[in-house]
Amino acid sequence: MKFKRVFLIVLDSLGIGNAKDAARFGDSGADTWGHIAEKMESFHIPNLQKLGIGNFKKLKGVAPVEAPEGKFFRLNEASSGKDTMTGHWE
């Protein structure tokens, strides 16, 4: 598939699941989206749902879609750091 345009959305501090080295930084169990969904009585994120966030990770109140309009990826930093600048510079 050939793309004419790609939109990359980076939402700092709004993670979905934890990084593989999370325990090194005291962040085991980090999952901002998952924890918000668990605590909300009604959790609706229709635009992200259309893009396929429910296909990437099971979230309470967010069903997977048959034909997602976007892609979600899990990225891991190669450097040993947790700060925003290290991650963005990489």
Interacting residues of 50 by C-beta distance below 8 A, sequence separation 6+: 65, 68, 69, 70
- pLDDT surpassing 80 at residue 5: yes
pTM: 0.75
Tokens of 57: 């990770």
Q: What is the pLDDT of residue 87?
A: 65
At residue 77, what is the residue type?
E
Phi-psi region for residue 34, left (φ > 0), alpha (ψ -120 to 50) or beta? alpha
Mean pLDDT estimate for the chain:
86
For tokens 């450097």, the residue is 79
**Quick check: 81 and 90 in contact, CB under 8 A?**
no
